Each structure stands twice: as structure tokens, then as C-alpha cells.
Chain A
């Protein structure tokens, strides 16, 4: 059974940093690209970042470029999102998601982890 479990969310002050993790199981992690997608409270979905299986292709949304860094450790079946320079508008539930076919096609999602940026 495919499972994606996010962790690392919490309350952080504006300008602070946080590192999200996503533990994957039930599939050969290294052969799948992964996305981070977020959803602000009461708002729609926003794609944040994409990383290919071997980490040689990475994309970021303009809203996080230069502040967030996506990475993965295929030996540990884990996906990461390092978030620096956090802003109020980064408050959201962050989902890790397995890519299927193409970057826009996600077949499995984690349960999400809440990041709250507030002073």
C-alpha cells in the first residue's frame, strides 16, 4: 500500500525557517518524481515544487523560488522541503504527492502537515 506521511509542520515566526519531511512507503520511491502542493486555510490548491526521481530536474513556483528548497534522499525513501524566509502568506497545509505520468498528474497524496507563520 502506498503511503506518504508528512511531518515537520508547526508554528513559526515570520522570517523563520522550517523543514518538512515526507516519508514514503509501499512503492519504489527512487523511480517516482514528487511534488509539494499547499493549501492555505479556506483557499485553493497551489503547486509549490517538483523534483524528479534522480533529483536532476527541479521546478519551483514563483511564489517560493529562492526561499524554498526541495530535495530527496532515495536511500531513506524521503522527500524534503526546506522553507526559509517564511511569510504570513506561507501559512497552509503542505501536501507531498507522488507524480504519475507527468508533473501535473498526482496519484497519491499525503495527509498534509500544517505550517502556521505568525508572530
Chain B
């Protein structure tokens, strides 16, 4: 069981806005920046958001990240069918000599 808690599933219809949450603690989200990855079926993950709310080049501005306290969120606006994928939050955890921790992942279904 991950130290970062994500809902196992989320869904929305095309055009909708969907939010995926990631809950942690003071040793991870509360003190370090959060990244988000998108993993399409059968492919390697792709960096979607880094440093809480920054988009790498090429990522549409439909994707946005935010953080408050020990929780972070990924928002996807104008939902499209190609957004159907697994989404993971990831952060550095300062406990136990430091480590990278992934959330359990959220499967997004576009209805």
C-alpha cells in the first residue's frame, strides 16, 4: 500500500473537467514538489506535470496541477477520449533516508 493515496478510478464524459487527488503527509507532499505521470495502455509513462504545476513542453494546457498542504490534484479540462489512461502522482519522501514514492494510480475512463 502506497504512502500516497489516489482514488483507484475516475471517469468523465468528453468535454468535462475531471480532478484526480493525491493525498500524502508532511514528509512527502508537505515538504516536496509533486509530479504527475500519464500511462496510456501498453506504453511507458509520460511526464505530465512537474514541480506541482509545471507542464513540460508539448503537454496541452488542458492538464494542470495544484497542491495544498499535504494533498495535490491533477485537473483535466475539456476531457478527450485519448485522455483515457492511468495517472500517477509521485513525490520524494524525506523519511527513511529518502525515497521516491508513487501513488497507487488512478484509472481514468472517458465515458
In the complex, per-residue mask of B43-57: 1 if CB is within 8 Å of any chain A CB, else 0: 011110011000010
Question: Assuming the A-B contacts A44-B104, A45-B39, are A101 and B99 also in contact, with contact meaning beta carbons closer than 8 angstroms in the complex?
Answer: no
**Cβ of A29 < 8 Å from any Cβ of B?**
no
Closest 6 CB pairs of A and B: A109-B44, A47-B100, A44-B105, A45-B102, A105-B50, A104-B90
| Interface of A (DSSP majority class) | strand
The interface size bin for chain A is 20 to 34
Whether the pair B2, A101 counts as a contact (CB closer than 8 A) is no
Whether the pair A61, B37 counts as a contact (CB closer than 8 A) is no
The interface size bin for chain B is 20 to 34
**Cβ of A111 < 8 Å from any Cβ of B?**
yes
Which residues from chain B sit less than 8 Å from chain A, CB to CB?
2, 32-33, 35, 37, 39, 44-47, 50-51, 56, 86, 88, 90-92, 96-105
Q: Which residues of A contact B105 (CB under 8 A)?
A: 44-45
How many contacts between A and B, using CB within 8 angstroms?
63
Whether the pair A47, B88 counts as a contact (CB closer than 8 A) is no
Whether the pair A44, B99 counts as a contact (CB closer than 8 A) is no
Subset of 23 A-B contacts with CB under 8 Å: A37-B45, A44-B86, A44-B88, A44-B103, A44-B104, A45-B37, A47-B100, A47-B102, A50-B100, A59-B98, A61-B99, A95-B44, A100-B50, A101-B50, A101-B51, A102-B33, A104-B32, A104-B33, A104-B35, A106-B45, A107-B47, A109-B44, A110-B44
Whether the pair A62, B96 counts as a contact (CB closer than 8 A) is yes
What is the CB-to-nearest-CB distance from A47 to chain B, in angstroms, rounded to a whole number? 4
A7–B96 CA distance with the chains assembled, in angstroms: 31
A59–B86 CA distance with the chains assembled, in angstroms: 26
